[in-house]
Amino acid sequence: MTRKPFYGLMLGGTVLFLLLVLIVYLPNKGKAPTEPTQPTSFDAEAAFQQSCSSCHGKDLQGSAAAPSLVGLDLTVDEVVDIITNGRKGSFGFMPPNMFTGSDAEKKQLAEWILSHK
């Protein structure tokens, strides 16, 4: 007599498991996995023109509001840090997050800026 509740629980658990399989697994059986989305190509120059050129100038030569970015003696990581956190310098103040792209895009933007010697 004491085994009847145990059998009921086992039967109920088995039924729930089978329902879960029917609901989750079977509708997806035979379907091809979805293709990962292609990463969008990032245009560092366009990002600079949109986010940075109003202060640093379209040619990176600087303005009354911000210094020139041509020939910087910084590493990519240092430029990414400035893009992310901003910087107070002797020439002015750069607010943080003026460019809000991903970390990879910030790195590409920094590399593009540093390529101007």
Q: What is the residue-wise DSSP string for 33-58?
A: PPPPPPPPPP-HHHHHHHHTHHHH-T
**The domain over range 44-114 is classified in CATH as 2.40.50.140:** no
Q: How confident is the model over 59-107, as pLDDT tens digits?
A: 999 888 888 999 999 999 999 999 999 988 776 788 898 898 999 999 9
d(CA 103, CA 44): 13
30 pLDDT band, cuts 50/70/90, is low
What confidence score (pLDDT) does residue 52 get?
92
What confidence score (pLDDT) does residue 26 get?
64
| C-alpha 14: how far from chain center | 43
What confidence score (pLDDT) does residue 63 get?
86
Compute the mean pLDDT over every residue in the chain, rounded to the nearest whole number.
83
By three-state DSSP, how is residue 8 classified?
A: helix
Highest mean pLDDT among 20-24, 36-40, 54-58, 75-79: 75-79
Give the pTM. 0.64
Residues in contact with 103: Cβ distance below 8 Å, sequence separation at least 6, in sequence order: 80
Residue of higher predicted confidence among 87 and 30: 87
Residue type, 5: P
For the chain, the structural domain boundaries read 44-114
